[in-house]
Chains A and B, each alone.
Chain A
């Protein structure tokens, strides 16, 4: 091969690299491992982690231990889907294009919206994306975040905001929920408001009133929603939200220490040309046969460059595909049942634990906050010593919540598991 190239050594292939920037040493990377040794090494690392199969876990706060069915694993192991890239050449990629089209449809059905993109990175970055849409749609440069929106989401929006030329304002929660009047007041000159349903504390927000308060003053209401709640809770599109966003993990992805997962972003039809990222559209081929293709690309970075609606390129297609398979496995009835089961078992836990609630007057979905009477970290440490992770310490994000524990209960937790938690948390 070297002779065909016309060089006499591998070294000569790199002759255009100036001598001053050539690396002449050996990379300080540990010695190569055979496949068998590699598996052993990684098994040893994995064994140092307390995963939710080894510890009875009530951790949630944005990432949840829901059941992932076997069909999801089976589909994701199909090598064609696993090892393809963005479907730039539609004739080579009808399968993945159709899957994305079906995913977009599923997200629109869940959220009551008319347009979904092919996925965003996660539930936090789609919030920043949504702010960018709102800025351009309204021409306003302030965003309002409900304090009961997940802390990770708020932090990411604040990181992006200076570059977008956006000012961020937060509206405090009142006894665990957001006050519509207060939100509406803050939204007066804002591009958008973002609230979460159910919110970070697991509390059901007065979402229709929050959306109405924003709409009244011309700010776009953006609902950050849990996909698994949407069999029982109203779709954001039905109560006047302009965009619906969220973390897709709960629907079909493993926890995986935080990723990769998929974020979803969906909107009313009016904003289709401001949406970030890839969108698949239906069309026909030269014979009039149905076909799918990446579309509305004049929004995107490879065409519009510095005027693009976003810089996103590589997204989370494979994880979104997992979401589609999962939602297809559930069907509408299954989705409703998962929501009902989570709500039922969580309510049972609330009752069974018998601990004072942080927000006693609120209705909750699959999470609720309790007061444990001493620093939550201590309670977590003690419980973990007994093989139970009792939940998330709210002190990590909220002042004055030193003894507050956010307990998350999915359909994977049984009444017997709840009894065990109650035993461990008993004063």
Chain B
């Protein structure tokens, strides 16, 4: 398929613009643009066809089953798209006076309360733009909290099963990373943890249930270790979809929690974003939250910037407001029954696990929470079929592959998260396909090695992409990569989560 730039024809355009009877204004010569940008020149029909064709070459939750582990690819209710486009939300300026934005402020205040209730913690800031920014914000809070107490604590402990964002955030917040291992049941190795924690430890970042889809059975003991040592516990909410109304991070002993509104609360993932990463904290951390705070005063709502201990701002304005509208609508459509969402997610995951545990290796044989991790280790050893191969073959059966090669401690990992919005028939069809692929591995491995067969492209050359680094269209100087010889190779690296 051609790039939009390759469909461009000089003088064509889709736009019509107003022109007013006012004098022209000249830009000072030294500041004026010399060469116009080579944006597409295309008619509206061709523009619409172009993006429609791109959409048909994209697989979304609307297309089919998308069990990408740790990403919570649930159905996105369309009513949320309707309400977010109400002019009162869509066309509201973020610097509008409080009297002119009472509805927006009230919505955010209500969402804060609902999130506080789900977290079991009293204070919320909606501002962070995504989960990883929520992490960074939480770590900044830790810094500010200890600095305020006159304590020098520079280490943060992260589990070896953690998402890559955790260690990356630790570095960006200026802390030093320490890694704690996982024990043979898939919990944190408490003995190892105990050895590591000292007066230098600022805190622990933990995903619970973990990226293995397992609830840490020693969470109370872990919390006690940190709180006795004066450290703080950070809850990575990537997997919160498992435990809403069932177990609250605040009750588990966590001091700071981030939510992923695009996972748990159904903001559509948009091909990579937007997200939303609000954080909830204990009282003693509230003074450090980003400004402005959204506060209620009688029947009025306003923004409070007078927070002398605040870390400042982590994003413009109050955060990704449109994401808040959708998430608030989502929560209100469940009401107190939010627990049923998590129950269905956990039931679906366990059902799928039960159907698949004979055909694939199961590194930790326990009931799972909302997701589980299998391994293609035996398929690889006996038939040379890797997790990547299984993923590609699943495409031929009409499914989006699960997350693969993550978590890192499981070789040939396949991390599967069905979510609560899938019917049993879909789960069965997926299980049948996975089992069939395991059979094919023995009988016709080439069929798998050559997969996918029915997608717009076959396996792509990741090595060439990285080596050539062609990251924009070059117009008349654009290289012809098809003419360059290569040994097509996809890297066995984490895909998903």
> CA A115 – CA B30 in complex, angstroms?
25
Name B17's closest neighbour in chain A (CB-CB): A337
Q: Is the CB of B97 within 8 A of A380?
A: yes
Q: Is the CB of A47 within 8 A of B103?
A: yes
Q: Is the CB of A319 within 8 A of B274?
A: yes
Chain A nearest CB: distance from B453 CB in Å?
10
Among B30, B274, B337, the residue within 8 A (CB) of A208 is B30
> CA A296 – CA B462 in complex, angstroms?
9
Chain B residue contacts of A427, Cβ below 8 A: none
A45 at the A/B interface (Cβ < 8 Å)?
Answer: yes
Near A by CB (< 8 A), chain B positions 34-69 give 34-42, 44, 47-48, 50-63, 66, 68
Q: Is the CB of B332 within 8 A of A41?
A: yes
Q: Is the CB of A81 within 8 A of B55?
A: yes
User: Which interface residue of B25, B93, B401 has the most chain A CB atoms within 10 A?
Assistant: B93
Q: Is the CB of A254 within 8 A of B91?
A: yes
Q: Is the CB of B14 within 8 A of A344?
A: no
Given A116-B471, A125-B129, A259-B320, 15 more A-B residue pairs with CB atoms under 8 Å apart are A27-B118, A35-B333, A45-B107, A71-B14, A79-B63, A84-B58, A95-B55, A95-B58, A122-B316, A285-B459, A290-B482, A304-B168, A315-B273, A325-B47, A331-B14
> CA A305 – CA B52 in complex, angstroms?
36
Using known A-B contacts A17-B246, A69-B15, A259-B323, determine if residue A125 contacts B315 with beta carbons closer than 8 Å: yes
Among B18, B140, B473, the residue within 8 A (CB) of A102 is B473
Classify chain A's interface size: 35 or more
10 closest pairs, A vs B, by CB? A46-B88, A258-B317, A318-B270, A32-B335, A258-B94, A48-B103, A79-B62, A317-B272, A95-B58, A95-B57
Among B20, B34, B482, B486, the residue within 8 A (CB) of A238 is B34
Interface size on B, residues (CB 8 A): 202
Q: Is the CB of B17 within 8 A of A411?
A: yes
Using known A-B contacts A91-B460, A164-B174, A289-B457, determine if residue A104 contacts B47 with beta carbons closer than 8 Å: no
B104 at the A/B interface (Cβ < 8 Å)?
Answer: yes
Task: List 18 A-B residue pairs with CB atoms under 8 Å apart, sorted by A's residue number.
Answer: A13-B346, A46-B87, A48-B102, A71-B47, A85-B66, A91-B395, A94-B457, A101-B471, A156-B315, A163-B173, A231-B33, A256-B89, A281-B465, A286-B459, A302-B497, A307-B171, A308-B168, A344-B25
Chain A residue contacts of B53, Cβ below 8 A: 95
Chain B residue contacts of A22, Cβ below 8 A: 246-247
Q: Is the CB of A310 within 8 A of B107?
A: no
Chain A nearest CB: distance from B41 CB in Å?
5
> CA A15 – CA B346 in complex, angstroms?
12
Q: Is the CB of A42 within 8 A of B316?
A: no
> CA A303 – CA B472 in complex, angstroms?
23
Q: Is the interface of B mostly helix, strand, loop or mixed?
A: loop
Chain B residue contacts of A86, Cβ below 8 A: 269, 271-273
Among B18, B114, B139, B461, the residue within 8 A (CB) of A285 is B461
Among B39, B104, B333, B456, the residue within 8 A (CB) of A91 is B456
Chain B nearest CB: distance from A345 CB in Å?
6
B430 at the A/B interface (Cβ < 8 Å)?
Answer: no
Chain A residue contacts of B429, Cβ below 8 A: none
A426 at the A/B interface (Cβ < 8 Å)?
Answer: no
Using known A-B contacts A79-B62, A329-B14, A337-B17, determine if residue A27 contacts B117 with beta carbons closer than 8 Å: yes
B155 at the A/B interface (Cβ < 8 Å)?
Answer: no
- Of A56-64, A179-187, A353-361, which binds chain B? A56-64
Among B3, B217, B322, the residue within 8 A (CB) of A101 is B3
User: Which interface residue of B27, B42, B73, B455 has the most chain A CB atoms within 10 A?
Assistant: B27
Q: Is the CB of A283 within 8 A of B59?
A: no
Among B245, B270, B272, B311, the residue within 8 A (CB) of A159 is B311
Near A by CB (< 8 A), chain B positions 176-207 give 177
> CA A285 – CA B490 in complex, angstroms?
10
Q: Is the CB of B469 within 8 A of A281?
A: yes
> CA A380 – CA B22 in complex, angstroms?
26
Chain A residue contacts of B17, Cβ below 8 A: 334, 337-338, 341, 411
A82 at the A/B interface (Cβ < 8 Å)?
Answer: yes
- Of A105-113, A188-196, A213-221, which binds chain B? A105-113
Chain B residue contacts of A55, Cβ below 8 A: 100
Q: Is the CB of A411 within 8 A of B18?
A: yes
A335 at the A/B interface (Cβ < 8 Å)?
Answer: yes
Name B106's closest neighbour in chain A (CB-CB): A45
